[in-house]
A = this chain, B = another copy of it.
Amino acid sequence: MSTDRHATRRSKLLSLIRRNAASALLITNPRNVTYLTGFTGEDTYLLIGPQQLQLFSDSRFETQLRDECPDIPAEIRTARTLMPDFLANLLPKFNLKSIGIESTSMVASVRDLLAEKLKPVEIVSQPGLVEELRMIKDADEILELRAAIHQAERGFELMRSLLITDQTERQASHDLEHGMRRFGALRAAFEPIIAVGDRAALPHYRAGLRTFQEAGFALVDWGAVSGKGYHSDLTRILVTSKLPPKLHQIYGVVLKAQLAGIAAIRPGARCQDVDAAARKVIEEAGYAKYFGHGLGHGIGLDIHEGPRFSPISGDELKPGMTVTVEPGIYLPGIGGVRIEDDILVTRDGHEVLSSLPKEAPFAAG
């Protein structure tokens, strides 16, 4: 872990805190704690402000904190004190008039307890500041995303090489996850979607008990989590016997839409325009109503983060953002096609980070 890197992130957050005239912040979202400190454990909060830098954790993580972020002081509670009470006891010594909280991750009961016990200190909702910084990836993060993509791609190739057609979706999903771990992933980025036949028309199906031979193809949507916690996210179509002609035709439309979306990615582009560039291709082919989700999303310490590609997105692309581009067409009762890659916004355009072929559906089994 580069502690320099984390110190740089913390000083950027302090600028953001000042610009927003915000108070010292109590960081409770565990991804945000990882981002600012390098600590990868759980149940650990960070107080950060112009004159404040303090972790609050418990005895389970003493060794890990020493390894991962030796430069940040940590208060350690024992099992006899609950975290909210621990905070209520220790926060007064910082003499703050108000404390900002991440209200989109702190549960209401903890906020209530802090508000009551810390009176007259004001507890102020200040969500989203670290998430704003996290949209722009630094060099370390881009390396981690490349690793997560590599792990996902190698795992997919291994699953494909192991595939027999009387396997169920779930068995293949387990092979896929095991394959990604073999190549260094900590775990799957999410429970893989492996959807055989008409199940491919359900964008949020996972993997069930259908076998590959019940239809000749499957949609596979999967990703890996790298050693430091970064997420990749990919989708391909896998054909074990034959893709129905209708879906074969649709494949060409989706691919054209995806390439159009990717081509629109550059610094300064509005995310709704990137979405529109891909959506237009699908609309012109007559499938507008069969593409019901946004074109993509940021990836990083979370599998879904900013920016968002959708018709109503207000985001704008900047160098260092990493995003998915994943148009799809879903025909109820027949199946669906989605093609998804991971893309880095560069200073003068973009770089497609993922590399699995997509000119045609994958053959397997």
Contacts and interface: CB of A to CB of B under 8 A. Distances in A.
A205 B293 CA distance: 40
A182 B187 contact: no
B60 A204 contact: yes
A53 interface: no
Please state the number of chain copies in the assembly.
2
Given A178-B174, A187-B191, A203-B60, A107 B109 contact: no
A103 interface: yes
A101 B187 CA distance: 33
A187 B206 CA distance: 13
Contact of A63 (B63, B182, B202, B292): B202
Interface in A78-118: 79-80, 101, 103-112
A292 B59 contact: yes
Nearest to A62: B202
Nearest to A111: B108
Contacts of A127: 109
A30 B61 CA distance: 27
- Interface extent on A, as a size class? 35 or more
A213 interface: no
A181 B187 contact: no
Contact of A104 (B101, B107, B294): B107
A312 interface: yes
Interface in A198-213: 202-204
A293 B103 contact: no
Contact of A293 (B79, B110, B125): B79
A292 B60 CA distance: 10
Contact of A107 (B61, B107, B178): B107
A330 to B, nearest CB: 11
Contacts of A293: 79
Contact of A101 (B108, B204, B310): B108
Contacts of A112: 103, 125
Interface in A293-320: 293-294, 310, 312
Contact of A109 (B125, B204, B292, B294): B125
Contact of A108 (B60, B108, B177, B181): B108
Interface of A: 59-61, 63, 79-80, 101, 103-112, 125, 127, 170, 174, 177-178, 181-182, 187, 191, 202-204, 292-294, 310, 312
Given A60-B204, A79-B310, 20 more contacts: A59-B292, A61-B204, A63-B202, A79-B292, A79-B293, A79-B294, A103-B108, A103-B112, A104-B108, A105-B107, A107-B107, A107-B108, A108-B108, A108-B110, A109-B127, A170-B181, A174-B178, A174-B181, A174-B182, A178-B178
7 contacts: A61-B204, A63-B202, A104-B107, A104-B108, A104-B109, A107-B108, A112-B125
Closest 9 CB pairs of A and B: A103-B109, A60-B204, A103-B108, A174-B181, A108-B111, A178-B178, A104-B109, A108-B108, A106-B108
